[in-house]
């Protein structure tokens, strides 16, 4: 089998609750590229209960697409490594979100210190915290043991104590755990990530009675939090959990170089990486955040990098299939109804959601059902974002920080009839303010990349740079409340070839200019009173197109939604047509304003008026970043570097109106790259970076840290985590 | 187009059925039958004891014994023994009073761990029933059995967590609500009633009062879920939530079996759990009886059941499988099948909305 340095071709498979997504990555002209992708049904449930069956079906499909043989003639084994004739692959990597979450009991010393760190360790995985034991726990030892046994955890995570701290308190807790695992009929796994000095004693106490994982202390000192090693070990626990539970993961784990990683961890890795890159490429001021949203059948996940700190919020009770029932509990029929163009009854909405829970793989067949599906998707994203606000250190109200890009994933977004429709769902649910780039991940590439990062970090860079995610386009979303039909935005779009388009976008509407992927345009914007873009009323921007184009969202924030179904039935299709670029062309602003004026009198329910649902059953959301001070970053010359020329020529809001006269194309526009050349950040930025990059202070990439930790663990236990 | 493997809901008039009947992992117990034994649906095949609470007795401290290893010699009970409140469980025989340790509560002696005796309390018996007639194909020591039988098998989509064994009856011509206590006969007592009409609150309340054994219905409003979950008789839905009538396929399989004994198991679907609601009617196997086909791809000519509106529950035959995804009415572009409906019309249906029902 090929060694680590001989990995050219990789199959990455992600087992979702409904779909199994498989991508084939290979070296093309010296760089890793997405060669082919496919999707099959996950076969974890009855009647097959074996995910490997779905994997092999998918590999058959990939082979049919590419003409490359991937399975042995017996069709029950993946050909590895790659053969000289081009058949087979060098490595297979597996991630999964299917199946029930890991049930965890957290045991630690101080609730606000080690226990809080333990919660952060757990956020990147599919876990359900059943109980927490700490020094603040007033229960007797007997009650604590009963609590552990009653919850039937799959894992007990023990943390606590600094490396120079007292040993007995943590050992006392370990003894409680030992009593519990000795009594338990089926002993849970234990992950110890506490005081390093007592690791040997912990092994003595526990190893005989349970499967024990040991990681470095999450709090080696009071103000030093290190989560990376524990998160890695948690990935190994997740692998062991998947293998010991039914579903055929044992076979997949054997052939996967990284075992079976939680998909959420891939999101954390990729978003953390993107956040670092965006920050490096930011010209000045605060770098925008990065957001990835994955709406699945069983889980909705939001991964974000805000102020260069990665966060992940996973709601295992929210989804469009298995967890549609949970979604209904987390929101209300009324909240769902406000996104519909007809007056659905509570019963219609509830029956739809519960039937999706019963048959999660089915798809809407009528227009009404599709609207309901998209309404559920909007609410799933909204609920998770609302929950994420506190972990992002934002208030319950107010706008979100600048997010650029926003990446949508999950079948509901990837299979939308038009990418503009996917864009509208994202804009409605997230309500970003300012300028953002919208991307789609139809192939499940993020799940794959996060796993590939462990073997070939450079592949992540190369594939994102190559544009293997789909760009929907740029969205321009002014902040401020609007009255529909009153005021708006004057837009002038200038293409590199001199073509020009002028448009007045009326408040309360959406308009899309069809700028193809990879093309750039100079955009001059003037906003009416009360609306601002990045705090300004006049801007010049260089923007890039996408499958939808440049989306001008003049609906204001918070989004004005209509209470009356008849009004919604008239206005919402206009919004959809606006994002799909099918709204009839119109330049006369008076005519446009008259057209939508009827809605100005309609009764509004701003989106911030969402009826609160009962508190979430389970939400694990916390900052995934390590909190300790970090050493200076190494410069990344030759990869992305810093973004070169300014993207936007900004003017303060109070500036005098700008004369509308044609301008010569800027060098930026002239140098606009071709679609395939431009990646997530653009070759342009890279080319400029090569000439202007300089040493920049910053924090170390946690991906790098994870890589280092992984390699270290690889040396220690190559058979357990990285299989060869 | 590469092969597509649809979901499967088994609806067969005759098939071989294998079902595991196991104790929960955390419930120690015994298997009460042997391989090859014939069992009826009401037979208990495995029995265990579940403990809701553990009491820890520090014997080492109570007895003043330095060496925990020696405590074994001081035990006056054996592991697994059921002890009564106040019963002496450890102490040095013949010594003065006060050195004996008594059980503070009734319980089962579970473990002696490092000088501490663990008593399981809050005990409750767990009985695993066969839940269908058949024979024991194999035994898993201390866990349970694999049963095998033959007959009709109809799987549903939702159940209320109950199970029952009784005579399968068709609902009265005037509907279930026409059953009145006055005219109630033993024919209906404990019967599992098949109705092709959606279940309503009035029907559910009525059948709960009448002493029926269970109800197999097509659908009900989701708001009745909680009420149905509170009933002590099994309710199984074959189509889903709403007001859909029963699929002719389901009714066609069960209707001829009226009067036979049926085992209705209606577990509530839980994510990640294999158990599905189903009704089994044991029938004599013939030479051609086999287990339901699984891992079957969709083929031209396959008989399929449609699982979404506007054709929910309709059974048809695949006429064509277009190579490329098609745009359907709502604008989605999806892999589809052209399905001939019973009316003779051909409908374009997304592959994801088709299921096979077990025929090979």
pLDDT given for residue A614 in this prediction: 55
Report the residue from A48, A49, A61 with minimal CB separation from B2. Answer: A61
In order of start, what are the domains of chain B with their CATH numbers? 8-27+149-282 (3.50.30.10), 52-124 (2.40.50), 293-356 (2.30.30.30)
The runs of H, that is alpha helices, within A399-509 are: 411-414, 419-430, 445-455, 457-465
Q: In this structure, are residues A119 and A40 in contact, taking their beta carbons and an 8 Å threshold?
A: no
Report the residue from B27, B241, B352 with minimal CB separation from A351. Answer: B241
Q: Which of A365, A374, A415 would best serve as a mutation to test chain B binding (most B beta carbons within 10 A)?
A: A365
Calculate how close chain A gets to B230, using CA atoms only, in Å.
18
- Give the pLDDT mean for A102-131: 91
Least confident of A22-31, A120-129, A511-520, B235-244: A120-129
What are the DSSP calls for A549-591, one per residue?
A: EEEEE-S-SS-EEESSHHHHHHHHHHHHHHHHT-SPP---HHH
Q: Is the ipTM of this complex over 0.85?
A: yes
pLDDT given for residue A606 in this prediction: 58
CB < 8 Å from B in window 126-155 of A: 141-142, 145-146, 149-150, 152
CB contact A582 to B (< 8 Å): no
Beta-sheet strand order (sheet of A470-477): A510-513, A549-553, A470-477, A434-441, A403-409, A289-295, A300-306, A309-315, A620-623
Q: Which residues of A118-150 are buried (b: 16+ CB within 10 A; e: fewer)?
A: bbbbbbbbbbbbbbbbbeebeeebbebbbbbbb
pLDDT given for residue A590 in this prediction: 58
- Chain A hits for B329, CB-CB cut-off 8 Å, are 365-367
Report the residue from B118, B333, B352 with minimal CB separation from A362. Answer: B352
Report the residue of chain A nearest B28, measured CA to CA.
A185
Least confident of A92-101, A231-240, A647-656: A647-656
- pLDDT classification of A604: cutoffs 50, 70, 90: low
Can you say whether the dihedral through the CA atoms of A50, A54, A60, A63 is positive or negative? negative
- Give the pLDDT mean for A301-315: 89
CATH class label, A102-244? alpha beta
Q: Do A57 and B5 touch (CB under 8 A)?
A: yes
pLDDT given for residue A644 in this prediction: 32
pLDDT given for residue B70 in this prediction: 84
Least confident of A16-30, A582-596, A639-653: A639-653
- Give the pLDDT mean for A39-66: 91
Mean pLDDT of chain A: 81
pLDDT given for residue A616 in this prediction: 44
Tell me: pLDDT of B260 over 70. Answer: yes
Beta pairing partners, B320: B338
Q: Do A185 and B25 touch (CB under 8 A)?
A: yes
CB < 8 Å from B in window 418-447 of A: 418
- Give the pLDDT mean for B205-219: 90
Report the residue from A64, A322, A367 with minimal CB separation from B330. Answer: A367
Cis peptide before A47 (omega within 30 of 0): yes
CB < 8 Å from B in window 681-700 of A: none
Q: How far apart are CA A230 and CA A709, in angstroms?
A: 10
CB contact A99 to B (< 8 Å): yes
What confidence tens digit (pLDDT) does each residue in A179-220 have? 999 888 788 999 999 999 999 999 999 999 999 999 999 999
Calculate how close chain A gets to B5, using CA atoms only, in Å.
7
Q: Do A363 and B332 touch (CB under 8 A)?
A: yes
pLDDT given for residue B276 in this prediction: 92
- Chain A hits for B225, CB-CB cut-off 8 Å, are 354
What confidence tens digit (pLDDT) does each residue in A118-168 have? 998 888 788 999 999 998 899 999 999 999 998 999 999 999 999 988 899
pLDDT given for residue A223 in this prediction: 87
CB contact A364 to B (< 8 Å): yes
3-state class percentages of chain A: helix first, strand second, coil last, to nearest 5: 35, 25, 40
- Chain B hits for A322, CB-CB cut-off 8 Å, are 271
Q: How far apart are CA B111 and CA A506, in angstroms?
A: 76
Highest mean pLDDT among A162-166, A417-421, A652-656, B48-52: A417-421
pLDDT given for residue A588 in this prediction: 54
CB atoms within 10 A of CB A417: 16
Q: Which CA distances in Å does A164 have to A107, A121, A169, A218, B148?
A: 19, 22, 13, 13, 61
pLDDT given for residue A601 in this prediction: 65
Report the residue of chain A nearest B239, measured CA to CA.
A355
Q: How far apart are CA A65 and CA A22, in angstroms?
A: 12
Calculate how close chain B gets to A258, using CA atoms only, in Å.
24
pLDDT given for residue A684 in this prediction: 36
Specify the higher pLDDT residue, A3 or A389: A389
Tell me: pLDDT of B17 over 80. Answer: yes
Tell me: pLDDT of A608 over 60. Answer: no
Could you tell me the residue ranges of all domains in chain A? 102-244, 286-620
CB contact A390 to B (< 8 Å): no
Report the residue from A142, A182, A322 with minimal CB separation from B55. Answer: A142
The percentage of chain A sitting over the pLDDT mark of 90, rounded to a whole number, equals: 54
Q: In this structure, are residues A206 and A174 in contact, taking their beta carbons and an 8 Å threshold?
A: yes
Tell me: pLDDT of A45 over 90. Answer: no
- pLDDT classification of A667: cutoffs 50, 70, 90: very low
pLDDT given for residue A710 in this prediction: 41
What confidence tens digit (pLDDT) does each residue in A316-371 have? 899 999 999 999 999 999 999 999 999 999 999 999 999 999 999 999 999 999 99
Report the residue from B56, B157, B350 with minimal CB separation from A363. Answer: B350
Report the residue from A142, A179, A370 with minimal CB separation from B330. Answer: A370
Q: Angle of helix A589-600 relative to helix A565-580, nearest 10 degrees?
A: 150
Q: Do B2 and A363 touch (CB under 8 A)?
A: no
Report the residue from A179, A355, A417 with minimal CB separation from B241. Answer: A355
Q: How far apart are CA A661 and CA A72, in angstroms?
A: 66
Q: Which CA distances in Å does B223 have to A131, B230, B244?
A: 32, 13, 15
Tell me: pLDDT of A273 over 80. Answer: yes
Report the residue of chain A nearest B291, measured CA to CA.
A47
């Amino acid at each position: 089998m090929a060694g680590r340095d001989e990995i050219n071709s990789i199959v990455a498979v992600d087992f979702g609750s409904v779909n199994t997504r498989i991508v084939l990555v290979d070296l093309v002209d010296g760089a890793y590229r997405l060669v082919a992708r496919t999707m099959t049904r996950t076969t974890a449930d009855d009647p097959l209960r074996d995910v490997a069956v779905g994997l092999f079906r998918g590999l058959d499909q990939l082979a049919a697409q590419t003409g490359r043989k991937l399975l042995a003639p017996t069709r029950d084994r993946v050909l590895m490594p790659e053969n000289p004739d081009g058949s087979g692959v060098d490595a297979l990597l597996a991630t999964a979100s299917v199946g029930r979450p890991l049930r965890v009991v957290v045991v630690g010393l101080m609730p606000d210190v080690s226990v809080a760190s333990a919660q952060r360790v757990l956020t990147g995985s599919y876990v359900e915290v059943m109980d927490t034991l700490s020094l603040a726990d007033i229960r007797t030892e007997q009650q604590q043991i009963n609590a552990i046994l009653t919850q039937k955890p799959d894992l007990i995570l023990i943390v606590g104590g600094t490396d120079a701290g007292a040993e007995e308190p943590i050992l006392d807790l370990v003894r409680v755990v030992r009593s519990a695992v000795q009594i338990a009929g089926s002993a849970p796994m234990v992950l110890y990530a506490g005081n390093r000095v007592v690791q040997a004693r912990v092994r003595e106490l526990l190893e005989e009675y349970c499967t024990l994982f040991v990681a470095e202390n999450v709090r080696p000192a009071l103000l030093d939090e290190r989560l990376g090693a524990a998160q890695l070990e948690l990935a190994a626990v997740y692998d062991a959990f998947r293998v010991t539970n039914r579903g055929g993961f044992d076979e997949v784990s054997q052939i996967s170089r990284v075992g079976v990683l939680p998909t959420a961890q891939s999101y954390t890795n990729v978003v953390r990486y993107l956040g670092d890159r965006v920050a490096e490429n930011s010209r000045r001021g605060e770098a925008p955040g990065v957001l990835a949203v994955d709406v699945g059948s069983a889980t909705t996940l939001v991964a974000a990098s805000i102020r260069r700190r990665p966060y992940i919020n996973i709601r295992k009770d929210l989804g469009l299939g298995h967890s549609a029932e949970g979604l209904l509990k987390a929101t209300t029929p009324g909240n769902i109804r406000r996104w519909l163009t007809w007056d659905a009854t509570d019963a219609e909405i509830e029956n739809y959601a519960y039937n999706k829970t019963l048959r999660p793989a089915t798809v809407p067949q009528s227009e009404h059902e599709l609207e309901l599906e998209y309404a559920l998707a909007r609410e799933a994203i909204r609920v998770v974002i609302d929950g994420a606000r506190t972990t992002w250190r934002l208030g319950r109200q107010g706008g979100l920080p600048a997010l650029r890009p926003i990446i949508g994933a999950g079948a509901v977004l990837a299979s939308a009839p038009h990418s503009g429709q996917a864009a509208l769902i994202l804009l409605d649910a997230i309500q970003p303010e300012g300028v953002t780039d919208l991307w789609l991940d139809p192939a499940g590439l993020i799940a794959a990349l996060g796993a590939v990062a462990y073997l070939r970090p450079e592949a992540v860079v190369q594939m994102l740079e190559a544009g293997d995610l789909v760009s929907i386009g740029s969205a321009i979303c002014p902040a401020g409340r609007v009255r529909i039909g009153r005021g708006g935005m004057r837009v002038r779009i200038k293409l590199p070839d001199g073509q020009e388009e002028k448009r007045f976008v009326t408040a309360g509407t959406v308009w899309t200019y069809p700028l193809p992927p990879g093309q750039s345009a100079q955009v001059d914007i003037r906003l009416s009173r009360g609306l601002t873009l990045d705090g300004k009323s006049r801007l010049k921007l260089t923007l890039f197109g996408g499958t939808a184009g440049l989306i001008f969202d003049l609906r204001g924030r918070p989004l004005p939604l209509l209470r009356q179904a008849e009004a919604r039935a008239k206005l919402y299709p206009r919004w959809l047509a606006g994002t799909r670029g099918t709204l009839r062309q119109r330049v006369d602003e008076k005519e446009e304003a008259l057209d939508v004026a009827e809605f100005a009198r309609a009764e509004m329910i701003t989106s911030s008026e969402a009826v609160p649902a009962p508190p979430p059953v389970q939400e694990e959301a916390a900052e995934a970043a390590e909190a300790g001070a970090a050493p200076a970053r190494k410069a990344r010359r030759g990869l992305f570097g810093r973004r070169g020329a300014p993207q936007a020529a900004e003017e303060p809001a109070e500036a005098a109106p700008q004369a509308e006269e044609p301008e010569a194309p800027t060098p930026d526009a002239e140098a606009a790259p071709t679609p395939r050349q431009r990646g997530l950040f653009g070759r342009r930025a890279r080319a400029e970076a090569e000439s202007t990059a300089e040493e920049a202070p910053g924090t170390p990439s946690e991906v790098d840290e994870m890589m280092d930790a992984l390699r270290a663990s690889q040396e220690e236990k190559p058979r357990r985590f990285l299989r060869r | 187009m590469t092969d597509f493997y649809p979901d499967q809901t088994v609806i067969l008039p005759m098939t071989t059925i294998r079902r595991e009947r196991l104790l929960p992992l955390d419930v120690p117990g015994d298997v009460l039958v042997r391989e090859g034994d014939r069992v009826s649906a009401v037979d208990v095949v495995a029995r265990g004891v579940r403990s809701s609470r553990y009491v820890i007795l520090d014997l080492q401290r109570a007895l003043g014994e330095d060496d925990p290893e020696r405590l074994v010699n001081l035990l006056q009970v054996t592991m697994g023994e059921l002890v009564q409140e106040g019963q002496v469980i450890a102490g040095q025989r013949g010594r003065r009073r006060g050195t004996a340790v008594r059980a503070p509560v009734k319980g089962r002696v579970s473990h002696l761990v490092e000088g501490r005796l663990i008593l399981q309390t809050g005990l409750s018996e767990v009985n695993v029933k066969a839940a269908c007639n058949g024979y024991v194909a194999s035994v898993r020591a201390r866990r349970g059995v694999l049963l095998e039988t033959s007959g009709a098998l109809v799987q549903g989509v939702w159940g209320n967590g109950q199970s029952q064994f009784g005579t399968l009856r068709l609902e009265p011509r005037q509907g279930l609500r026409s059953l009145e206590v006055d005219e109630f006969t033993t024919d209906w007592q404990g019967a599992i009633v098949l109705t092709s009409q959606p279940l309503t609150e009035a029907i559910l309340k009525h059948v709960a009062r009448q002493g029926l054994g269970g109800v197999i219905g097509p659908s009900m409003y989701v708001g009745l879920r909680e009420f149905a979950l509170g009933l002590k008789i099994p309710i199984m839905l074959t189509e889903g939530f709403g007001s859909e009538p029963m699929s002719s396929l389901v009714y066609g399989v069960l209707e001829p079996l009226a009067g036979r004994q049926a085992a209705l198991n209606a577990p509530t679907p839980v994510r990640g759990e294999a158990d599905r609601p189903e009704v089994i009617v044991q029938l004599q196997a013939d030479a051609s009886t086999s287990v339901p086909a699984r891992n079957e791809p969709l083929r031209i000519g396959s008989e399929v059941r449609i699982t979404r509106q506007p054709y929910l529950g309709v059974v048809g035959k695949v006429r064509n499988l277009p190579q490329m995804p098609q745009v359907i009415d709502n604008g989605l572009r999806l892999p589809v099948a052209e399905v001939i409906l019973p009316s003779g019309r051909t409908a374009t249906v997304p592959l994801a909305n088709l299921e096979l029902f077990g025929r090979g």
